[in-house]
Amino acid sequence: MNVLLRLFPAGHFVISVLFLVAGGALIVLAGVLLWQGIAPFDGAARLARLNAVLEAIAVLTVAVAALELGQTILEEEVHRQAQMSAPTRVRRFLSRFMVVLVVALTIETLVLVFRFSQDTPEYLPYAASVGAAAALLLVAWGVFIRLNVAAEKLEPEAMQAAKREDRKIEKSAKGEEKS
């Protein structure tokens, strides 16, 4: 059983590395798309250039989400080896993920609105539905945080343990910076 429990951090590490690789690949792809949009000697139409730049922004948004998710998994599951049974841990993990998700969906909404308003305005309700989903996620996240605070009051020792762990990790990070 202990052998199996030791495999989980290794699996989480591999997943976070794959998120890093995927994020890097998306950044390269976004760079290519951006170059296609601003290539000065290309005879592309203005609308095609705008769409290429908007597509680069959308791909970069997904890259940020992939990188942030990889970092969250690395920090919470590998570095801290956090158990998700405490309300404090759940709130921290979900909060980091939800920030990335809501921001990514909001940026994607803006990209879609710009793209659809130029090409196909009849698709604007679809862009609005992505924005509405982002807003709904933000509201649900706020409700979760509010309800989670009450659960944290039932386990104050979990909050104190998380704060001690944060200070310990901050000290070790500062020690690595000095080296």
- Rounded to an integer, the average pLDDT of 141-158 is 77
pLDDT at residue number 64: 92
26-40, 69-83, 116-130: range with lowest mean pLDDT: 69-83
Between CA 67 and CA 77 the distance in angstroms is 15
pLDDT winner (highest mean) among 41-50, 74-83, 94-103, 152-161? 94-103
24-28, 103-107, 158-162: range with lowest mean pLDDT: 158-162
CB 63 within 8 A of CB 26: yes
Distances in Å between the Cα of 2 and the Cα atoms of 7, 8, 11, 14 are: 9, 10, 15, 19
Enumerate the domain spans of the chain.
1-81, 84-179
Is pLDDT of 80 > 80? Answer: no
- Rounded to an integer, the average pLDDT of 108-135 is 92
The pair of three-digit structure tokens given for residue 30, joined into one six-digit string: 């976004």
Nearest-CA neighbor of 76 among 9, 149, 2, 171?
9
- Report the chain's C-alpha Rg in angstroms: 21
Give percent of the chain above pLDDT 70: 81
If one compares 124 and 97, the residue with the highest pLDDT of the two is 124
pLDDT at residue number 136: 97
Q: What is the DSSP string of 39-102?
A: -TT----HHHHHHHHHHHHHHHHHHHHHHHHHHHHIIIIIIS---TTSHHHHHHHHHHHHHHHH
19-38: pLDDT as tens digits:
999 999 999 999 999 998 88
pTM passes above 0.85 = no
